[in-house]
Chain A
Amino acid sequence: MSNQVYYEDVLEGQDIPSIKKEVTNVNILMYLSTVWLMDRIHFDYLFATQRRGLPNVVAPGPMGGDYYAQLLSEFAGEKGEVRKMSIQFRNFMVPPDVLMCGGKITRKYIEEGKGFIELDLWLKKDNGANCAPGKGLVRLPVREAKTS
């Protein structure tokens, strides 16, 4: 079964399917453990709030990049590829934020026979604020030229 999206199937201005991400202490700890990151602002509540003036422990910013990478990988599908992704950190992701991770196609073009899609990306909290604006570049497969 293929849900593959092709270059011809999408339009500039169109939103791509979004994903929901919940920021939890447990996910943060899983991430820190796997990458061996011991920065106390991510797991030590007293340190984060009293010593660093943060509202709570905060998720590592790169997790937002991982959410964008997943969003773009799912959009690209088996036959596409994620070429570029960028993220700017504006506000911390904080438990128990529930984020909508999504994007909008801003431009599509053919270059050397390949189909490219540029996107603006967002990680939106409940209040609609984009806590980490991003951009993506995905190559989508181009359908064979059809004879009419």
Chain B
Amino acid sequence: MSVSLLDELGWKKYIGSDTGSCTGEPVSARDIRRYALSIDDPNPVYFDDQAAKNGKYGGLTAPLAYVIWAVGVPGSEKGVKDLGEDGLASFIGVPEIPGVWTLGWVRGGDEFEFFKPVYVDDRVTVNGKIVEMKEKDGKSGKLVFVTSEFTYTNQNGELLARQRVTMIGTPRKES
């Protein structure tokens, strides 16, 4: 019987724990415009003030899934020498629990529920907690699945979105 990786890491006690809270700087028209360009979304509401005012939200809003980036990537604004080899200082979706960077991570999937869009000038706050951990034996080694739930609110405390993210970790190979 193989040893449980979650037991080895001692991670089960973190189920239910907070991943911390973070508030981003105001979302700018530039952020929204460039994001829409990057995903090739041609909707004029992202580029034209009048179209935005006449549109369903009555003002400039970001594409729906932008909400996860509106807080910034917590802890990622660091100089090159403070980043890990892969260019990451931290990664929302991978909670900062001891030993987390002994694994290599890929994103398994996201589930979103949308309530209100992000408007230009909004300051978005994220709160999160780890809700589930699973493991299984994969073809090339053990896999752990860590699911976190995040709640996004604006400066008025209004709920914008909820997101569940599952990250899949596997022990890094010796290099």
Which A residues are closer than 8 A to B by beta carbons?
21-22, 27, 30-31, 33-41, 44, 47, 51-52, 61-63, 65-70, 73-74, 78-79, 81-89
Q: Can you spell out 12 A-B residue pairs with CB atoms less than 8 angstroms apart?
A: A30-B37, A34-B34, A38-B76, A39-B87, A44-B87, A63-B39, A68-B65, A70-B63, A78-B56, A82-B114, A87-B110, A89-B109
Query: Smallest CB-CB separation from A34: which chain B residue?
Result: B34
| Closest chain B residue to A28, Cβ basis | B38
The closest CB in chain B to the CB of A30 belongs to: B38
Shortest Cβ distance from B86 into A: residue: A40
Query: Is B18 part of the binding interface, using a Cβ–Cβ cutoff of 8 Å?
Result: no
Contact flag A30-B72 (CB < 8 Å), given A62-B65, A84-B112, A87-B109: no
Contacts A67-B39, A69-B112 aside, 5 further interface pairs with beta carbons under 8 A come to: A62-B65, A66-B39, A66-B41, A74-B43, A79-B56
Interface string of B63-79 (1 = CB under 8 A from A): 11110110011001100
Minimum C-beta distance from B154 to chain A (A): 17
CA distance A37 to B91 in the complex (A): 9
Shortest Cβ distance from A4 into chain B, in angstroms?
A: 11
Chain B, interface size category, equals 35 or more
- Whether B106 sits at the interface, judged by CB under 8 Å, is yes
Q: Of A31, A36, A40, which contacts B39 at CB under 8 A?
A: A31
Residues of chain B contacted by A61 (CB below 8 angstroms): 107, 110
**CB-nearest residue of chain B to A78:** B56
Which chain B residue lies CB-closest to A26?
A: B38
Q: For A86, give its contact among B40, B63, B111 (CB under 8 Å).
A: B111
**Within the assembled complex, what's the spacing in Å between the Cα atoms of A41 and B172?**
15
- Pick the residue among A51, A52, A66, A81 that contacts B63 (CB under 8 A): A66
